[in-house]
Amino acid sequence: MKKLHSYIVKLSLSQSNFLATKMLDICDNLGHVKYATLVFQQLENPNVFSYNAIIRTFTHNNKHSLAITLFNQMLITKSALPDKFTFPFVIKSCSGLLCRRLGQQVHAHLCKFGPRLHAITENALIDMYTKCGNMSDAYQVFEEMTDRDAVSWNGLISGHVRLGQMKSAREVFDEMPCRTIVSWTTMINGYAREGCYVDALEIFREMQVVGMEPDEISVISVLPACAQLGALELGKWIHKYSEKSGFLKKTGVCNALVEVYAKCGCIDEAWSLFDQMVEKDVISWTTMIGGLANHGKGYAAIKIFEAMRKAGVAPNGVTFVGVLSACAHAGLWNEGLRYFDVMRVDYHLEPEIEHYGCLVDLLGRSGLLEQALDTILKMPMLPDSRIWNSLLSSCRIHRNLEIAMVAMEQLLELEPEESGNYVLFANIYAELGKWEDVSNVRKLIRSKRIKKTPGCSLIEVDNVVQEFVSGDDSKSFSQDVFWILEGLTLHQTRTNDLMELIEEDEGQRIHKAFPSQTGWGRIDDKCERNKTVIDDKSNT
């Protein structure tokens, strides 16, 4: 590029706006912003094409303030009037700066002085308003459009998703006349981000039903939902599909699949895929370390962490959460304290509340309750309920009532309506044989009318994840499930009754044969004693 530019200068063509614009386009493609600035600055009379090229270069390379400055220069000097190709990039720079007021000013100038609005500019305005959180102005632009395309509809959907308004996003999505892969992927990603994992899977399956082929982004978007719901079969299908489509060459897809296998209990499959990855980034290593830690494989997680350091990949804060959790599960409190220092000294990462939570759990599991309490009291931030609950759980393991009362006092302030804390505290009293205190805790629960959080479970059948909540009979097939459960319960009851009759009958027969033998227990004991008596009689 520089050699080509030198020829232009030698031939005295450096003032040619046409050649300068072409040079600016090359700089834009290569990301050479500084060189593009020098090329533009040497122009004495830049025209609108040169201005558009340099503004586009700045916008594409996130130099949004410079793009706005040049746009103002165009208006002030009047050396070149902005045309329909200028405004989309200027508006995009307003979006990049998240400056709604500036975007409104550009919009007003556009309406007053022209040029006439067209679809590309209007779509840029919708994108700018939605990114700035101004959905009313975005809808106004949308309603005034004469030629709406898929980009226009997707802009509104993205705006609602960005604000967490999934109900409104779904309404726009359902009204959309022609959906693209971007539309489906945006909805999947939005549901997954908001924790609506079942809805994310339903949208993904609906996309397949209409014949839309998932791309790399949609696959990455749906896999976290598979991991959270334990949808292993769908995860395996996506793995095969990704292998066939060549997506496994992408690190992001592999990272998401490793997480699915790890969270679905298939740690060996997660390790196999991780081992096959050609390129591993910090997310790859962190996901594998966290998966091994959650499966209780603390030593393996630490080995992976050391291999990560040898590979020259710098760990982040999430990595150390996995490492500290692994040390806690393996009872390696010395190593955990060392890695806590490594995080601060070697990698200059300031511990956050999650790291202190892991440290408290590590010390508590190891029986160092006084040190765990001291760590909480010296934290640079206020401890949350999870940290105090972790300490309370450790007090139950090691039957330390004194520190448990300190933890419970804090939990009563932070979570006065959480039933689990009361139950855990009552269990500590029960294990110490303090039944009167157990009764007092139960009376306190009843007096405060604290309701227990209903339990829930998930099951995947025919690639569909069904969620069951205790006491919820709203599902269409609930009565069939209750009928089957009732039948199984009745069958188990009859089986137990039959076994009791068999045991009673067996005992009566043995007692009749050997009346001197009394007080026999289970059938196995009866048979053994029966054998002993027979041996004794034969010896006699």
pLDDT the model gives residue 330: 85
pLDDT the model gives residue 429: 87
CA distances from 222 to 60, 113, 277 (A): 29, 45, 20
Q: Mind listing the pLDDT tens digit for each residue in 372-410? A: 999 999 999 999 999 999 999 999 999 899 999 999 999
Amino acid at 291: G
Q: What is the DSSP string of 134-152?
A: -HHHHHHHHHH-SS--HHH
Q: Is 119 domain-assigned?
A: no
Q: Is 142 domain-assigned?
A: no
pLDDT the model gives residue 499: 67
Instruction: Give the total residue count for the chain.
Output: 540
Percent with pLDDT over 90 in the chain: 59
Q: Say whether pLDDT at 94 is over 70.
A: yes
User: The tokens 């533009």 sit on which residue?
Assistant: 40
Angle (nearest 5°) at CA 513 between 512 and 515: 60
Q: Is 433 domain-assigned?
A: no
pLDDT the model gives residue 509: 52
Q: Which residues are within 8 A (CB) of 162 and not within 5 positions of it... i.e. 6 or more apart?
A: 130, 131, 133
Report which secondary-structure segment, H or E, holds 39. Answer: helix 33-41
Angle (nearest 5°) at CA 461 between 460 and 465: 40
C-alpha to C-alpha distance for 441 and 452, rounded to whole angstroms: 14
Structure tokens at 144: 């005034």
User: The tokens 């196999």 sit on which residue?
Assistant: 272
Q: Mind listing the pLDDT tens digit for each residue in 41-83? A: 888 888 999 999 999 999 999 999 999 999 998 888 887 888 8
Structure tokens at 234: 């769908």
pLDDT the model gives residue 420: 83
CA atoms within 13 A on the CB side of 454: 8
Q: Which burial class, exposed, middle or buried, applies to 216 when counting CB atoms under 10 A from its CB (0-12, 13-18, 19+)?
A: middle
CA distances from 185 to 142, 212, 230, 259 (A): 21, 11, 20, 20
Q: Is 103 domain-assigned?
A: no
Residue 308 CB neighbour total at 10 angstroms = 21
Residue 509's domain comprises 476-539
pLDDT the model gives residue 465: 62
Q: Which residues of 148-157 are buried (b: 16+ CB within 10 A; e: fewer)?
A: bebbbbbbbb
Q: Any idea what DSSP says for residue 256?
A: H
Among 426, 354, 439, 352, smallest CA distance to 395 is for: 426
SS3 469: strand
Band the pLDDT of 206: cuts 50, 70, 90: very high
C-alpha to C-alpha distance for 343 and 224, rounded to whole angstroms: 27
* Axis crossing angle, helix 48-60 with helix 17-30, rounded to the nearest 10: 10
Structure tokens at 221: 């978007």
Q: Across residues 143-147, what is the average pLDDT?
A: 90
pLDDT the model gives residue 504: 58
Written in H, E and C, the secondary structure of 333-380 is HHHHHHHHHHHHHCCCCCCCHHHHHHHHHHHHHCCCHHHHHHHHHCCC
Report which secondary-structure segment, H or E, holds 412. Answer: helix 401-414
First to last CA, the chain: 111
Q: Any idea what DSSP says for residue 249?
A: G
Angle (nearest 5°) at CA 61 between 60 and 64: 85
Q: Which residues of 181-190 are buried (b: 16+ CB within 10 A; e: fewer)?
A: ebbbbbbbbb
Structure tokens at 277: 């990855």
Among 299, 235, 222, 302, smallest CA distance to 262 is for: 235
Q: Indicate the pTM of the whole model.
A: 0.77
Question: Considering its fold, how many domains does the chain have in total?
Answer: 1
Among 125, 149, 145, 148, smallest CA distance to 135 is for: 125
Backbone angles phi, psi at 382, to 5 degrees: -70, 130
Amino acid at 519: G
Q: What is the DSSP string of 288-340?
A: HHHHHHHTT-HHHHHHHHHHHHHTTPPP-HHHHHHHHHHHHHHT-HHHHHHHH
Q: Which residues are within 8 A (CB) of 116 and not within 5 positions of it... i.e. 6 or more apart?
A: 84
Q: Say whether pLDDT at 345 is over 70.
A: yes
Q: Say whether pLDDT at 532 is over 60.
A: no
Distance of CA 127 to the CA centre of its chain: 25
Q: Say whether pLDDT at 536 is over 60.
A: no
Q: Is 8 domain-assigned?
A: no
Q: Is 322 domain-assigned?
A: no
Q: Is 499 domain-assigned?
A: yes
